[in-house]
Structure 1
Amino acid sequence: MKTPYRVMIVDDSAVIRGFLSRWLNEEADIEVVASAVNGAVALKEFEKHRPEIVVLDIEMPEMDGMTALPKLIEMDRDVKVIMASTLTLRNADISMKALAKGAADYIPKPESTRQADDKEIFHRDLVAKIKALGETRRRKLGEQTPPPVQPTRKELPPVASASGGLYKGANVELRPFRSNGLLPKALAIGSSTGGPQALFSLFEKLKGKLASIPVFITQHMPATFTAILAEHLSKIAGIPCREAVDGEKVENGHIYLAPGDWHMTVVKDGTDLKISLNQNPPENFCRPAVDPMLRSLDTVFGSRLLTVILTGMGQDGQKGCEQLAKSGGYVIAQDEESSVVWGMPGAVATAGLSNAVLPLTSIPGAIENALTGRPS
């Protein structure tokens, strides 16, 4: 029998603590071992119960979530903290800062627990995040974990990576890359859980090196959060980044971020390329989703699209990468060790669709090599 993931809920609302505890305790592989009314109480409860995952409210009396966050991580560097907040610009900005300071993920609270759809989405997302983060923690620590959600292929021996080393991760077979000698004309990035932190790190190292191409990002996030993420990325990358606008012309040296609740695609309009947004049904339970972005970019750029799939839950991006593989595009997947959750990059890697599986710290160099034509 697998031991349940141990969770602590920290929120000043007794109502929220109550319904979260009921929801989570209904899951066979989740157990709420503690709850706290603020950060100060949370530190004491954490010491007693040692939860693996903490759902941490931002705004609380006596000690708020941002104050408690580094103290919790100091007590256990492997604890997975999910920041929970109401969907406001201020809280979205605080959540981004929390991710940069060590929080594993965030989740917006529903505006009303009486709205069935809002409750269902919040419930589903919170349970999925807890299980994914709990599994990642236990794998890292070598502890017993419930069976992984993703199907696995047979064990393969270490294989040569496109960067010249060996990727020793299980179930990974790299797709050989046949260069046509032409440089990439665009960069596409897909990410979810852990994505903001990964994007911050990526663009910090790529500052000043992306002026020659457009960059397209789909990060699973609600609308308020994508606006704040774009602001942060614009400062870090040193080139304009904003939520994409329907009908705007695509320009080199610009980063286009899919706005929350909208799929982002790119279409040809004569000699120009333009952004096209839509609210077609969610794909992989997500809107925005990576797959529709990749499908459209493959149609426009084909083999001259460079794609990076970063940390995230689920399999969004896999089908898009299947199309890219047929076109001969170059695909980099983040490796398991550096991913907060190895769902999206793992799905691409284990399906044999990636040309390289790299730690996050090596991906900026691989991107620069591809853009300059240097051998990698």
Structure 2
Amino acid sequence: MVVKAYGAYVADKPLEPIDIERRQPGPHDVEIDIAYCGVCHSDLHQVRSEWEGTLYPCVPGHEIVGHVTAVGSDVSRFGVGDTVGVGCLVDSCQHCASCADGLEQYCENGFVATYNSPVEDAPGHTLGGYSQRIVVNDRFVLKISHPEDQLPAVAPLLCAGITTYSPLRHWQVGPGQKVGIVGIGGLGHMGVKLAHAMGAHVVAFTSSEAKRQDALDLGADEVIVSRNADEMAAHAGSFDFILNTVAASHNLDAYTQLLKRDGTLCLVGVPEHAHPSPNVAVLIFGRKAIAGSLIGGLPETQEMLDFCAEKGIVADIEMIRIQDIERAYDRMQKSDVKYRFVIDSASLAA
């Protein structure tokens, strides 16, 4: 099955229209007509070979929302017309301890990413959601129950949403806790919304005074401008949990000093260059932890989608046509978006 897509053949050329091949649905497959696809920073890093190992042609996109157009003979959870999503994973070994626990993102034999993972299908690696259709194993398809008019803003939940939900849930964020969210961007704005919905006292950290009101509007109870030493010092030793969404290298000590005894600073952004080595004494003398978290498994991602539907949570987005993707990348690098671009996949037919 040939479908229209946008991708790149080399790192230093713009994305362009290309035709790609999708497999015919097998017994356990779901074929999805893609309606919307979020634009993640990972897309830009991979397609431009800023991360190693890019396989070309590269078609990015792993925040996919669409409708089922066909199902395999052994698929019972989905039917034609269902509204569904696909996130960062489209397969895993399905037999290791992590997969057995529903933590496919930590598959001990290596998960299959929605794009840029070696597979048998042509052209020898996965191709993502900047395309009209995709065919995915039914175990890696998610049910979406948000209303139709919210679907564009649901797409970023498949990456930005689960990336922040998973650590908040794992560290049992809830009422009575003081929780920090560092960075008010594509990930951070979701972190604020989710932590607020979980009942925590939410404090947003931003390096820009201009984002103070934005953070409050998203649901933060307080806002700290991280460049203001007095504001930071006033909160020393008071946080149960801090979720750090910033991918740029920076001083982690500024945040571990704000944790209570037994508090955790969790990192979800991978910096281009390593963070400066943290002060171990701060950790030892407060039994504090620096941890990390990677997206979420399929059961938790479904839980997140259901939670967001129940609470009326979606991402703040700006819709674009696929023909404007390079402009969107340039703006994204300048943090000139509130807070996620989403591609209207109907534009692929233009």
**Common fold, TM-score beyond 0.5?**
no
**RCO comparison, higher one (Cα < 8 Å, 6+):** 2
Where is the helix percentage greater, Structure 1 or Structure 2?
1
- Normalised by the size of structure 1, how large is the TM-score? 0.33
Q: TM-score, normalised by structure 2?
A: 0.35
